[in-house]
Amino acid sequence: MSSSGLGGLNKSPQGIVVGLVQLQNPDVATPEQLAAQTRRIVELIGKARRNNPSMDLVVFPEYMLHGLSMDTSDAIMCSLDGPEVAAFKAACIEHRIWGCFSIMERNPGGNPYNSGIIIDDKGEVQLYYRKLHPWVPVEPWEPGNLGVPVCIGPKGAKLSLIICHDGMFPEMAREAAYKGAEVILRTAGYTAPIRHAWKITNQSNAFQNLAQTASVCLCGSDGTFDSMGEGMFCDFDGTVMVEGSHRPDEIITCEMRPDLVREARIHWGVENNIYQFGHRGYVAVKGGAQDCPYTFMQDMVRGEYRLPWDDEVVVKDGTSCGFPKPERRYEG
């Protein structure tokens, strides 16, 4: 099994060193504050490079620019061709490092998207994702429509990004791994009540998919909400390799070993779950059963997903959190 390589200080030839920034939870309400927070992110990219010269990828949490206000004002929304992303591209080039960033993305056709991007050390966007599962009923973001993308990262590592609440659905990490992701990033703005679920899902997402996970939250208080930090790196057997504290702006680091992920996925027999999921009982029948015995999957494909207790569910829109009841249907 792999270790953290003393947080990446001892870097193996096949390893990639990832830094997770437990970013101080910001309070941003104006374009000026957005610009100031953009400058702060750029400063921390520089800190990451100075912190560990072997670092390949620095990951910032969800809401790194906007904080947890859920403000959808157009004046502080971002776009891929806007000044914020341009600043991050320039910083990645300057410091010769890959970066994972969060923006609340302007959407002329509806509510803004909660989006994430991975930028390489040449300043090019290699992954662009829109959060599929906003944290309802609290979050107002448009449901994502780009699927779960995977990109080739440093040293050929296959990376994917899921955002916060996404990671509570085992299907999200499974989709990332099914598309080849070896390291699954998870960025979040969670607060302390979610602490236990955060930990166990980061571990289970790794183990169930023979993947390594790297996950980080905002940290500290904005005067209203207290975020928890608690970045964590999990190995593909579900063990925690490195776990962060509650100290804002701390950067925790770990060496990830996608080569060992590949080895396990090829050579494991017992508990090679992502393979065995599609090859049920291959000892008894050649190649295993490759049907789809899951009613919920079949119903979802038909657009007929419905729980036995669907009519009894109380919270079905955002009115409890002050949002108007939506009338527009999702068009994909």
Dist. CA 42–CA 56, nearest whole Å: 16
Helix (H) or strand (E) holding 30: none
Query: Does residue 62 carry a catalytic annotation?
Result: yes
SS (H, E, C) 230-272: CCEEECCCCCEEEECCCCCCEEEEEEECHHHHHHHHHHCCCCC
Start-to-end Cα distance in the chain: 42
Catalytic one among 62, 84, 139, 182? 62
Q: Are 64 and 41 in contact (CB under 8 A)?
A: yes
Helix (H, G, I), strand (E, B) or coil at 59: strand
At 186, the amino acid letter reads R
| Structure tokens given for 286 | 């050649």
Catalytic one among 78, 92, 151, 164? 164
Dist. CA 179–CA 123, nearest whole Å: 24
Query: Does residue 164 carry a catalytic annotation?
Result: yes
CA atoms within 13 A on the CB side of 127: 29
Count the residues in the chain: 332
Catalytic one among 131, 139, 158, 234? 131
Residue that is written with structure tokens 């609440």 in the block: 165
Dist. CA 84–CA 230, nearest whole Å: 26
Query: Does residue 131 carry a catalytic annotation?
Result: yes
Residue positions annotated with a catalytic role: 62, 131, 164
